[in-house]
Amino acid sequence: KQEVTQIPAALSVPEGENLVLNCSFTDSAIYNLQWFRQDPGKGLTSLLLIQSSQREQTSGRLNASLDKSSGRSTLYIAASQPGDSATYLCAVYRDDKIIFGKGTRLHILP
């Protein structure tokens, strides 16, 4: 059974710092891995989608990596800003399911 774990559950960092969010999954047979952000009381915003054959994707200050063999993905946020404060969710695609981690609540301190 596929399980997705995100560590840490919560993170506070000063504005301007670079940071890394971690995601691990137990079954490496995935199609894609996707990172989302969710603001309080809001829906899901897709950040980056990494195909199973890819190792990383970049969008602006965000870089997501994927290592299928070790069952890990990281989301790197450069030069963090207060507007980056949100919950970040990792999700893996397998068969007919998209399985989510429990998220990391990120707080950027002004």
Binding region for another protein (CB under 8 A): 31-32, 34, 36, 38, 41-44, 46, 49, 51-53, 87, 89, 91, 93, 96-100, 102-103
Q: Which is nearer to another protein, 5 or 15 (CB)?
A: 5
Looking at residue 75, its amino acid is L
- The 8-class DSSP code of residue 31 comes to S
Q: Whole-number minimum distance, CB 59 to another protein, in Å?
A: 13
CB 22 within 8 A of CB 74: yes
Q: Whole-number minimum distance, CB 69 to another protein, in Å?
A: 17
Residue 84 — φ and ψ, nearest 5°?
-80, -10
